[in-house]
Each structure stands twice: as C-alpha cells, then as structure tokens.
C-alpha cells in the first residue's frame, strides 16, 4: 500500500454507511485505495471512516448527500472535481427497495427509488466514466441484484430498477471494451444488511425461507470478479441457480412465485390493508 495519500488511487463508494457498501470500502482500502464515502447518514459514514482509519494510513473522505434528489449526482460530481478527488474506481452501490403493491405504495418514495437506483447510478457512471475513459484506466462496479433477472410482483419497481442496472452495465461494459475501463455488475441475492428493514420485508416469505449471505462475502466475491474483469458477478451458488431459473422457467410460473415471496408471513398485516399513502418507515 502506498503511504502517500496524494499518490493513492481514489475509490468513490455510494451507500458506504453500512451493509454491502461498507464491506466494499474495506475491500478497496485493503487494495490500497484512498476512499470517498457517500450516503445520507453522516455520523454512520464517520463511524466507517474512523474504523477504516484505525486500520490504514489514510482517513476516508465523507460526503453526506441524498442521491435520490434530482441533480444530486451532478452536484456530487462537481464537489469531487472541486476537491480534486476524481475516482479511479466508482462503486455505485446505494439503493433501496420497497415491498408492497405498486399502486398502494407512496408514489414519491417510489420515484425516489428510481432517482437513486437508476438516475443517480447512470449519471455518476457517465460523469466519472468519461474521466476514466479519457485517462485510459479505471473501473465502475454497479450493484444490481438477482432480482434484476426476474419479474417481481409486490416489489415491481425495485426489480425493474435492478434489471435496468444489469442491462445498462452490460452494455456500457461492451462499449468500453479495450478502453482500459472495466465495468462490472455485481448481483447479490439475499444479504444480511439493513436493506430488508427499509424495504418493509423483514416478515416476508422470502426472508423466512432464505439463508442470507454476509455483506463481507458479497463485497469480496464482487471485487474479485471485478479484478478478474468479469462483466457480471453473481454471488453464491444459490443465486447463480436463481439466475439460471430466470432463463429456464416461464413467466407464468415465475410471476406468482416471486409475488408470493414478497408477501408477509401469516400473522403480519396484509399488504392490501395498508393505506394508499402509507410511508414505509413508520415502524422504524
């Protein structure tokens, strides 16, 4: 690892205040990168930065920003340029999901999900990808999901947003072939993080029957795949099987099964009983 921070390559990670993003921060710090961490919760970012600083020679920069707000990706890019923190590696990890019927969930929250999962990820890929391509080196890791290859009733927009990320990343990777810029989509399955609480799916059928991976394992497998120049990295054997099912099993079967996985287990309030404007964070 290079001890001079000015000589270290920079990695920018969105959604680094916990979960998979925090685990990516450890992977990249261990590989010698100076880090820029972005999320909304500044005190959680500071906790991650302090923990990382105690293990390495440099302290990560922390930027508190809500990337679901229109114009936030451009604002982040301008801030990065102003501070001279242009990343060699970008990890577009920030994202969230919402479980419930599309017409019943709060429409503003669902648009915010599209802004974060799709728009901010796309803008950051383009804005920072241009700098990487001009320098002839760098890399982008976009965190999608096994959900990206399946239809997802009761989580329709989340699943569709992850399908967008998968296809966008594959295509960008093909466009940048030979440019020196590596583009990789990482597709985790169920992973032990704060994701399910925010999505309102802690008591879902999916959570009842799945065995979550650790965020550390997801980041390690994802980063190793990126280093091996893989276009898509699916974490874990079960998740690879789920991806295969998406190709082999007809939609007439997939739709009811995935829809059922996103219902609440017996005893939990029915999704259909939730008010049309229900906010999902009311129980947090």
Q: Which are the catalytic amino acids? A: 158
CB of 270 to ligand NAP, least distance (A): 23
Nearer to ligand NAP, 179 or 202 (CB): 202
d(CA 145, CA 140): 16
Instruction: Name the one residue in this structure whose structure tokens are 């989580």.
Output: 155
> What is the number of H-type helices and E-type strands within the chain?
11, 9
CB of 135 to ligand NAP, least distance (A): 26
Our CA angle for 194, 138, 115, nearest 5°, is: 40
Nearer to ligand NAP, 102 or 177 (CB): 102
Nearer to ligand NAP, 18 or 153 (CB): 18
CB of 97 to ligand NAP, least distance (A): 6
- In this structure, are residues 104 and 147 in contact, taking their beta carbons and an 8 Å threshold? no
CB of 212 to ligand NAP, least distance (A): 7
Residue 183's Cβ-side half-sphere holds a number of Cα atoms within 13 Å equal to 27
Bridge partners, residue 141, by sequence: 91, 184
Nearer to ligand NAP, 27 or 44 (CB): 44
d(CA 218, CA 236): 8
CB of 14 to ligand NAP, least distance (A): 6
Contact residues for ligand NAP, defined by CB under 6 A: 14-21, 39-41, 44, 66-68, 93-96, 116, 143, 145, 188, 190-191, 193-195, 198, 215
Nearer to ligand NAP, 42 or 133 (CB): 42
Residue by residue, DSSP assigns 43-90 as HHHHHHHHHHHTTSSSPPEEEE--TTSTTHHHHHHHHHHHTT---SEE
- In this structure, are residues 68 and 42 in contact, taking their beta carbons and an 8 Å threshold? no
Bridge partners, residue 89, by sequence: 11, 139
- Which token pair is 139? 């890399």
């Amino acid at each position: 690892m290079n001890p001079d921070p000015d000589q270290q390559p920079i990695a920018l990670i969105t959604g680094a205040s916990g979960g998979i993003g925090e685990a990516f921060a450890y992977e990249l710090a261990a590989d010698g990168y100076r880090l820029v961490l972005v999320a909304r919760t500044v005190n959680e970012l500071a906790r991650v930065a302090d923990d990382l600083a105690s293990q390495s020679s440099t302290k990560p920069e922390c930027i508190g920003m809500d990337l679901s707000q229109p114009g936030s990706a451009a604002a982040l890019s301008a801030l990065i340029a102003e501070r001279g923190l242009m990343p060699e590696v970008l990890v577009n990890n920030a994202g969230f999901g919402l479980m419930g019927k599309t017409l019943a969930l709060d429409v503003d929250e669902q648009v915010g999900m599209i802004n974060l999962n799709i728009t901010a990820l796309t803008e950051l890929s383009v804005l920072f990808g241009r700098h990487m391509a001009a320098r002839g080196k760098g890399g982008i890791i976009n965190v999608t999901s096994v959900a990206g290859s399946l239809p997802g009733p009761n989580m329709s927009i989340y699943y569709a947003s992850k399908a967008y990320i998968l296809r966008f990343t594959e295509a960008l990777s093909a466009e940048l072939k030979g440019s020196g810029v590596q583009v990789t989509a990482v597709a985790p399955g169920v992973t032990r993080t704060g994701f399910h609480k925010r999505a309102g799916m802690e008591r879902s059928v999916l959570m009842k029957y799945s065995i979550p991976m650790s965020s550390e394992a997801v980041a390690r497998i994802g980063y190793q795949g990126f280093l091996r120049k893989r276009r898509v990295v699916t974490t874990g054997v079960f998740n690879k099987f789920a991806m295969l099912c998406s190709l082999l099993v007809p939609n007439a079967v997939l739709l009811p099964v995935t829809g059922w996985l996103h219902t609440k287990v017996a005893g939990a309030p029915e999704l259909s009983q939730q008010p049309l404007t229900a906010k999902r964070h009311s129980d947090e």
